[in-house]
Amino acid sequence: MSRESDHRTLHNRVLAELGPAIAAGRYGPDHVFTLDGLVREFGVSRTVAREAVRVLESMRLVVSRPRTGVRVRPRSEWSVFDPQLIRWRLAGPGRLEQLRSLNGLRAAVEPPAAAAAARLASAEERAALVDLERRMAATGRRGDLEGFLELDIAFHRRILELSGNDMFAGLSGVVAEVLAGRTEHSLMPPTPRPEALCLHRHVASAIDGGLPQVAEAAMRAIVDEVVEALEGGGGADGGRDLGPGGTDPGAQGPGGPTAAG
């Protein structure tokens, strides 16, 4: 599912090892690499190593200075919105923490985005959104989780795009990553909850009807549900999937896999 960054070029392959390692905190902060060390470790030319460092530098993961070498910066200075860095963190031990942060961001942004969409979307766009929601609900009820995920992502992305705010739209990739990550790690019930589907329909029809406040409230309900599932359900983490007492999908107590993003 999650397409890893082009392993076609060599410097990207170096990045694919170095980036996650740094993002996971295996080196840091103030750990120092030397270019020659990277050259030897990865068996690549100096040029390639330098290109990789340039990219890491542009994400503010490292600084490169003469005589000093390539120094890892403290986490607080990283460009945490860089999609690549987000993916690296989602792939590593910081996954749960990263998911929490991202959901907090979603909770903040998506409701206002839905409100803005309700104000700005054109007639065709509203119709298309409603149609999208319908297909999503149908797919969900059919139990086609993969298809549902795809449409769910499309739904949220479309709303962010319709908000008319570049920055909101720029988060659509992040949202996709979160949603995909959730199903990928079995945090989803086998079939989306009817309540969640219902809320999505409310969002769609509120935007269709030009009701910003309703759209905002409905979207807030959706994202808050997810946040609660993640915060309350507790860090069922450790490794990759549900932790101690991984609840049987059938018996969903309070905090079981519940949301449908």
Of the candidates 187, 179, 196, the residue with the CA atom closest to the CA atom of residue 257: 187
> Nearer to DNA by C-beta: 33 or 168?
33
202 binds DNA (CB under 7 A): no
How many residues lie near DNA (CB under 7 A)? 24
- Candidates 38, 84, 133, 259: give the one binding a second copy (CB under 8 A): 84
3-state secondary structure of 117: helix
CA–CA dist 84, 242 (Å, integer): 25
Amino acid, res. 205: S
In the shown chain, the binding pattern of residues 128 to 167 toward a second copy, with x for contact by CB under 8 A and - for none, equals -----------------------------------x-xxx
CB of residue 105 to a second copy, shortest distance in Å: 4
45 binds DNA (CB under 7 A): yes
Stretch that binds a second copy, among 55-63, 191-199, 231-239, 248-256 (CB under 8 A): 55-63
Site for a second copy in 163-222 (CB under 8 A): 163, 165-170
Question: How far, in Å, are 3, 12, 61, 85, 99 from residue 78 at the CA level?
Answer: 23, 19, 5, 9, 17
- Candidates 3, 76, 123, 251: give the one binding a second copy (CB under 8 A): 76
CB of residue 134 to a second copy, shortest distance in Å: 25
The sign one gets for the Cα dihedral 214, 216, 218, 221 is negative
3-state secondary structure of 85: helix
What burial letters (b/e) apply to 189-201, b meaning 16+ CB within 10 Å?
Answer: bebbbeebbebbb
Q: Which does 183 bind (CB under 5 to 8 A by kind): DNA, a second copy, none?
A: none
CA–CA dist 261, 115 (Å, integer): 17
- The residues binding a second copy (CB under 8 A) are 11, 47, 50-51, 54-55, 58-60, 75-76, 78-84, 97-98, 100-102, 104-105, 107-109, 111-113, 116, 163, 165-170
